[in-house]
Copies of this chain bind each other. A is one copy, B any other.
Amino acid sequence: MSAPGVSARQARAGIVVTGTEVLSGRVSDRNGPWLAERLRELGVDLAHTAIVGDRPGDMEAALRFMAEQGVGLILTSGGLGPTADDLTAEVVGRFQGREMVVDPALEERIAEIVRPLARRWPNLDQDAIRAANRKQATIPAGSAVLQPVGTAPGLVVPPADPNGGPTVVVLPGPPRELQPMWQEAAGSDALRAAISGARVYRQSTLRLFGIPESEIAETLRVAEREGVELGALEITTCLKRGEIEIVTRYEPGAQSAYEAFEALVERRHADTLFSRDGSTVDEQVAQLLRGSHPPLTIATGESCTGGLVAARLTERAGASDYVKGGIMAYSNDAKVAVAGVAGELIEAHGAVSEEVARALADGARDRLDAEVGVGVTGVAGPGGGTPEKPVGLVWLSVVVGDYEPLTRSVNLPGGRSDVRDRATTVAMHLIRRALTTRLAGGSAAAGGSARSSAGATPG
């Protein structure tokens, strides 16, 4: 259809995230990752993401770099606000060889949006508002305007010369403005034209919990020896919050090569492979609770994780169908008074102990009248560690109905936030394992066996 050079250009894209606050690390970028996923869905290969400050020269250099890499599409985020350091529209206009013009209809539209806000803050300076509106309505001539979600419009800006390089899509910085606006951008003719050569890829994700990354390296070598056609698969492995994620991208013709690879992973890592369809442990736990007849309810009793397990269980829409609530018992008093842990247990074994983890799980389940209870107690650090109970030691317990609780300890590496975060992930996996073994009709004896198997899985 088109020359190979053109097709290669059209299939690739770049992202330019702007903002000194992002470059300097004060704000972490959520738009680059989100847009990367959207490009993948469109079958567009992302070549580079660049983060630049609010300096026109640096922004232009990044756009030029992307163009030199032969991308057909550049997405930018940020720099559309009303302050003078918001320069993106102007820089992109110059880069594309287009003059800046005021769009009167857009100016009126922005004024309409701003009016109710101005009523909330009645003392605002009217000139300031008009100047801000005018600035946000000044755009490169010939751009397609994407309707504002907040006050800033987005833009699709093709090059002035039709053979002159990539199309630039200019999007606002706040994720809750950028994300809805993307729908309109993705449907625009100018963007569709820029990616017309996109290929279709499939992508499959496997997730494992509880083995080191070097084992996957070895599995890849075994795959090679066994003649799996790895050349047709783009495999990336990544260690993420204690889980290993294996993502494979391939063209539809390589489906059987992928299936051979997946079968090998399944054979070698049966006990640690927990997801073959890309589902996360959070989705699986929600599905196990909600999918029971009737749905199972859950409650948390947390100490060192400070509410993170409860927060993670309630992250998903509809969590109120199965989450009853939680007790965050930070002090020993709270463990006794609110979570119903016996004071003697704490005295005899310490607050960080198997016994207290079990009592927290029991207490949460009983006090919140749930079917499943989760208990977590540990030393998050940096203080409070001892030779017997060092920073990073965490005891976790999950009790399902009348089954024997599933209890284990882990020694987690890293600083306070690593320990809290990782313990939350371990809790999710322990809930999953407890539900899987118990709901499979496990008895108290089956509980015992699942318990020792969980114990052998390092965190």
| A325 in complex: contacting residue of B47, B334, B381, CB < 8 Å | B334
CA distance A9 to B420 in the complex (A): 41
Q: Are A310 and B306 in contact (CB under 8 A)?
A: yes
Known pairs A65-B65, A306-B313; list 16 more (Cβ under 8 Å).
A23-B48, A24-B33, A25-B33, A26-B240, A28-B29, A61-B69, A81-B217, A81-B239, A82-B213, A299-B334, A307-B307, A307-B326, A317-B381, A325-B338, A326-B328, A337-B367
CA distance A82 to B216 in the complex (A): 9
Shortest 8 CB-CB contacts between residues of A and residues of B = A25-B33, A306-B314, A307-B307, A307-B310, A128-B218, A325-B334, A25-B36, A21-B238
Q: Are A121 and B176 in contact (CB under 8 A)?
A: no
Q: Within 8 Å CB of A300, what residues of B?
A: 307, 328
Q: Closest Cβ of chain B: how far from A111's Cβ, in Å?
A: 13
Complex interface residues of chain A between 349 and 407 (CB less than 8 A to chain B): 367-369, 381-384
Q: Are B28 and A30 in contact (CB under 8 A)?
A: yes
Complex interface residues of chain A between 296 and 311 (CB less than 8 A to chain B): 299-300, 302, 305-311
Q: Are A24 and B247 in contact (CB under 8 A)?
A: yes
* A265 contacts chain B at the CB level, 8 A cutoff: no
Q: Are B24 and A337 in contact (CB under 8 A)?
A: no
Q: Are B310 and A458 in contact (CB under 8 A)?
A: no
With known contacts A83-B216, A213-B81, A307-B310, A27–B240 Cβ distance under 8 A: yes
Q: Are A23 and B46 in contact (CB under 8 A)?
A: yes
| A383 in complex: contacting residue of B40, B47, B236, B318, CB < 8 Å | B318
Q: Mark A71-95, 1 if CB is under 8 A from B, else 0.
A: 0000000000111110000000000
With known contacts A125-B218, A320-B331, A48–B37 Cβ distance under 8 A: no
Interface stretch of the complex, out of A189-197, A255-263, A408-416, A432-440:
A408-416
* A346 contacts chain B at the CB level, 8 A cutoff: no
Complex interface residues of chain A between 51 and 65 (CB less than 8 A to chain B): 51-54, 58, 61-62, 65
Q: Are A54 and B236 in contact (CB under 8 A)?
A: yes
Q: Which residue of B lies closest to A369 (CB)?
A: B333
Q: Are B214 and A124 in contact (CB under 8 A)?
A: yes
Q: Are A221 and B82 in contact (CB under 8 A)?
A: no
CA distance A392 to B417 in the complex (A): 29
With known contacts A21-B247, A83-B216, A329–B325 Cβ distance under 8 A: yes
| A323 in complex: contacting residue of B221, B247, B324, B330, CB < 8 Å | B330
* A20 contacts chain B at the CB level, 8 A cutoff: yes
Q: Within 8 Å CB of A65, what residues of B?
A: 61, 65
Q: Within 8 Å CB of A458, what residues of B?
A: 120-121
Q: Mark A415-427, 1 if CB is under 8 A from B, else 0.
A: 1111010000000
Q: Which residue of B lies closest to A424 (CB)?
A: B311
Q: Are B324 and A325 in contact (CB under 8 A)?
A: no
| A28 in complex: contacting residue of B28, B213, B236, B331, CB < 8 Å | B28
Q: Are B48 and A317 in contact (CB under 8 A)?
A: no
Q: Closest Cβ of chain B: how far from A298's Cβ, in Å?
A: 10
Q: Closest Cβ of chain B: how far from A267's Cβ, in Å?
A: 14
CA distance A132 to B214 in the complex (A): 7
Q: Within 8 Å CB of A20, what residues of B?
A: 234, 236, 238, 247
Q: Which residue of B lies closest to A418 (CB)?
A: B176
Q: Are B85 and A236 in contact (CB under 8 A)?
A: yes
CA distance A218 to B221 in the complex (A): 62
* A8 contacts chain B at the CB level, 8 A cutoff: no
Q: Within 8 Å CB of A313, what residues of B?
A: 306
CA distance A327 to B19 in the complex (A): 39
Name the residue among A30, A82, A120, A418 with the largest chain B CB count within 10 angstroms.
Answer: A82
